[in-house]
Amino acid sequence: MTTFADVLNKRPGLQRRLFFLARRFVAGETIDSALDAVKTLNADGLTASLDFLGEDVFSETEAAHTAQVYQTMIDRIAQAHADCNVSVKLSAIGQAISDDVAFENLSHIIDHARQQNMFIRLDMEGSATADSTYRILDRARMQYEAIGPVVQAYLKRADADVDLQIAEHTRVRLCKGAYKEPPGVALQRMPEIREHYMTLACALLTRGNYPGIATHDERRIRGVQEFAEANKIGKDKFEFQMLYGIRTRRQRELRRQGFNVRIYVPFGTHWAGYFYRRLAERRENVFFVVRSIFSR
């Protein structure tokens, strides 16, 4: 089935003209606009993870270009003295071509990150890329330990993935998952996904290495707070992570309560896929978009 995102991805000019639809969730189209957003977050005590939007690259030239953008991002973050790291989608740096192409491009990003002692988050995409992502992660960690994956709680493989990453002392970002997956691969009912999320969160809080607890779900947030307090897990041992433009007041409230909070800040012209997943996740996001249309 062709989606709104598929249509826009084939029409870059139209995607640029419709950027106003995504402006609540995407921090502009340039590095400058993204860094302005990061500075605002930092001023409120929030850290950030910067993501250059783009996925499913099939050209080695384009993949290398995306990797070069990330190198520039890292240098600009350092120059701005911003409290920020980067998130990388391997599909944007050549994963669909081969593991080797993606790894070579990732190695160039790592070279820049090492100079700044900056953590790199490897985003997890559809389940079909999971094994490849972990293979590339394993190779990358032989060069640079400050790199870690995202685990999607709705995937049935998530328990094993979390256990392995805990054993490897790797920093994990835990989210529910936003890609359409078949029943054989992923849990389908939200109550099951929420329960599984909490099981994995508790494992990471107890045994993990500074996990990122990525959720906007208030019950999950309170559940994590209560579990951490009951088990005497310090607020400095983990961080909450949220998306740019979603529950902004709650983000700052958590920071005022003494929790570390990191905001995932995407930017770029290829926003359609990311935007489509945000609409699918939360009905409230549709309201934000409709309101933006009539407030132009």
Q: Is 231 exposed, middle or buried (0-12, 13-18, 19+ CB in 10 A)?
A: exposed
Identify whether the C-beta of residue 242 lies closer than 8 Å to the C-beta of residue 278.
no
Q: CB neighbours of 203 closer than 8 A, spacing ≥ 6? A: 162, 163, 166
Write out the E strands in 64-157.
84-88, 120-122, 147-152
Say how far apart CA 100 and CA 63 lie, in whole Å.
12
- Residue labelled with tokens 């992502």: 133
Residue 32 token pair: 């400058």
Say how far apart CA 36 and CA 60 lie, in whole Å.
31
For residue 216, what is the DSSP state?
-
Say how far apart CA 248 and CA 175 lie, in whole Å.
18
- Residue labelled with tokens 């340039």: 30
Is 171 catalytic? The answer is: no
Is 6 catalytic? The answer is: no
Give the H or E element holding residue 265: strand 260-267
Say how far apart CA 125 and CA 123 lie, in whole Å.
6
Give the active site residue among 24, 121, 123, 278.
123
Give the active site residue among 173, 194, 220, 247.
173
Active site amino acids: 123, 173
